[in-house]
Structure 1
Amino acid sequence: MKEIRFDNKLSSTGPVFKPLYKQVEEHVKQLIVEQRWKPGDMLPNEFQLAAELNVSQGTMRKALNSLTDTKVLMRKQGVGTFVSEHTAQNGLFRFFPIIADGKNPELPKAELLSIETQTAEALVSVALELNKKDKVIVMRRRRILNGEYCIAETIYLPHVYFKELLDMTDIPHTLYHFYQTHFNLTVHSTEDAIKADIANQSDVELLGIKRGEPVLSVQRTAHSLNGKAMEFRISRCRSDKYHYLVKLN
Structure 2
Amino acid sequence: MPSVPPAAEQSATDIVPDEGAAPAFSPLYQQIKTLILQRLESGDWKPGESIPSETDLALRFRVSQGTVRKAIDELAGDNLLIRRQGKGTFVATHSERHVQYRFLKLRNDSGEYEHSDRRILECKRVRASAEVARALQLRAGEPVMQTRRILLFGGVPRILEDIWLPGQTFKGLTAAQMLAYKGPTYAMFELEFGVRMVRASEKLRAVAASADQASLLDVADASPLLSVERLSFTYNDTPMELRRGLYRTDSHHYHNQLN
**CA-CA distance at 1:152 after TM superposition:** 0.7
Which of 105, 108, 131 is 1:97 aligned to? 105
> What are the residue-to-residue correspondences of 1:132-151 with 2, within 5 Å?
132-151=140-159
Cα contact 1:8–1:52 (8 A) shared by 2: no
Larger radius of gyration: 2
Bigger shift: 169-178 or 228-237?
169-178
C-alpha offsets along residues 131-155 of structure 1, whole Å, 9 cap, x if unaligned?
1221111011000101110011010
Counterpart of 1:208 (choices 218, 223, 230) is 218
1:204-244 residue CA offsets vs partner (Å, 9 max, x unmatched): 22111100111011100000022110000110111212210
1:181 aligned onto 2:181: no
> What is the match of residue 85 of structure 2?
77
Q: Please say if 1:232 is aligned against 2:239.
A: no
- 2:142 corresponds to 1:120: no
Name the amino acid aligned to 2:106: I
Structure 2 residues without counterparts, runs of 5 or longer: 1-15
Q: 1:131 and 2:112 equivalent?
A: no
Q: 1:51-97: CA deviations, max 9, x gaps?
A: 01112212111111111111110001122111101016334431100
AA aligned to 1:49 is L
State the alpha-carbon separation in 2 of the partners of residues 12 and 111 from structure 1.
46
The corresponding residue for 2:6 is: none
| AA matched with 1:236 | L
Does structure 2 retain, via aligned residues, the 8 Å contact 1:222–1:232?
Answer: yes
The one-letter amino acid paired with 1:179 is F
**How far does the alpha carbon of each residue in 1:179-214 deviate from its partner, in whole angstroms, 9 at most, with x for none?**
111111111101111100111112122111100111
Q: Residue in 2 aligned with 1:107? A: 115
Query: Of 188, 192, 208, which aligns to 1:198?
Result: 208
Q: CA–CA distance in 1 between the matches of 2:213 and 2:232? A: 24
Q: Deviations over 1:87-132 (max 9, x none)?
A: 1633443110011223511231111111111111122112111112
TM-score by length of 2: 0.87
Match of 2:255 among 223, 241, 245: 245
Q: Kindly provide the amino acid, as one letter, of the partner of residue 187 in structure 2.
A: H
Q: Which runs of 5+ in 1 are unaligned?
A: 1-5
Pairwise mapping of residues 214-225 of structure 1 onto structure 2 (< 5 A)?
214-225=224-235
Change (3 A) 1:238 1:48: same
Residue type of the partner of 2:171?
K
Asked if structure 2 preserves the Cα contact closer than 8 Å seen for 1:152 and 1:237, the reply is yes
**Residue 233 of structure 1 aligns to which amino acid in structure 2?**
R
Q: Does 1:40 align with 2:53?
A: no
Distance 1:7 1:145, change over 3 A: farther
With the length of structure 1 as denominator, give the TM-score of the two structures.
0.90
Q: CA deviation at 1:12?
A: 4.5
SS at match of 2:188: helix
Percent identity between matched residues is 32
Question: Would you say the 8 A contact 1:101–1:243 is kept in 2?
Answer: yes
Deviation at 1:169, TM superposition (A): 2.8
In the alignment, the residues of structure 1 paired with residue 125 and residue 50 of structure 2 have an alpha-carbon distance, to the nearest angstrom, of: 37
Is the contact made by 1:10 and 1:23 (CA closer than 8 Å) also made in structure 2? no
The RMSD of aligned alpha carbons is 1.9
Task: Determine the structure 2 residue equivalent to 1:3.
Answer: none
User: 1:88·1:107 contact (CA, 8 Å) conserved in 2?
Assistant: no
